[in-house]
Copies of this chain bind each other. A is one copy, B any other.
Amino acid sequence: MYICSMYSKELLKGTLSAIVLKLLAENGKMYGYQITQMVKQLSDNKILLKEGSLYPALHKLKDEGLITVETENIGKRVRHYYTLTQEGIKVKDAKEAELKDFINTISKVITSQL
């Protein structure tokens, strides 16, 4: 990976977990690398998740009980598939709503001219 996101990294803060939860909600079980590729694709190469961001984030979501892990052997490789829990679905809904509202609000502030 090792390629920089188009955006200042601070902008992504607070949105990563919402994005991951949303993708899992839409696509069922996914594994880490697959998530990075889908985010890359959906964002037209503008958001390039780093391993140092995604894997710790996934582990945290698991520790919080929002996702569960399922291990699958692909040849000699091990792949970790993640799935939303019931609690994860709830949190995903909340985070999605919050993010959408935030985007609305910021848009209002940034476009307004009193």
Which residues of A pack against B, CB within 8 Å?
6-15, 18-19, 22, 26-27, 38-39, 42-44, 46-47, 96, 98-103, 105-110, 112-114
Task: Tell me how far the C-beta of A32 lies from the nearest C-beta in chain B, rounded to whole angstroms.
Answer: 17
Tell me whether B46 and A105 are in contact (CB under 8 A). Answer: yes
A54 → chain B closest CB, angstroms: 14
27 contacting pairs across A/B (C-beta < 8 A): A7-B98, A7-B101, A7-B102, A7-B105, A8-B14, A9-B14, A10-B13, A10-B14, A11-B13, A11-B14, A11-B15, A12-B14, A13-B14, A19-B106, A19-B109, A19-B110, A22-B109, A26-B112, A39-B109, A42-B109, A43-B105, A43-B109, A46-B101, A46-B102, A47-B105, A99-B106, A103-B106
